[in-house]
Amino acid sequence: MKRVFFRWLLDLYPPYLGAGIRIKSISPDFRKITVQMKLHWYNRNYVGTHFGGSLYSMTDPFYMLMLIKNLGPGYVVWDKAASIEFLKPGTGKMSVSFQLTKEMLESVKKNTAAGQKFTPTWTVDIKNESGEVIAKIRKTLYVRKKRGLRAEPGAAAYKTVPFGE
């Protein structure tokens, strides 16, 4: 799926549309995604700050989607668990940037080469317009190579499966 169409679909996804969540950018290699959300009457809580569920929604399911796009169809990728730590009230425009590094991808490939499951936990920060961290999200993913694509004993560390095949 093309990046522009992918972004458009996410922006129109009802939970994001209803919470006012917008995808600001997606890198061509799907390794960096920036998401923003402004404070509106429909996403504020009783005390006038961002609703915690909407803040969490800003982070779901981007690491999973980024891994799927970068690993290709030879892997099973799921969100497994998440936690949120609120550090200060969120008002105004919130943003979160996801970065999938070369080291993160290599770690996933290495730890799933023989077919074993891998459950990395990655942290991402939600920031306000001043750059202050208002919440920390810990995302745990479940990753495993699909059957038939796993390395045999004595084979190379991992087999690369091109995206789209």
pLDDT at 150: 57
* Segment 110-164, tens digit of pLDDT: 999 999 999 999 999 999 999 999 999 999 999 999 987 655 554 444 444 444 4
| Across 80-91, average pLDDT | 96
Residue with more model confidence, 15 or 162: 15
- Domains of the chain, first to last: 3-145 (3.10.129.10)
Adjacent-strand bridge partners of 15? none
* Segment 30-76, tens digit of pLDDT: 999 999 999 999 989 999 999 999 999 999 999 999 999 999 999 99
pTM: 0.84
- Distance between first and last Cα of the chain: 13
pLDDT at 151: 58
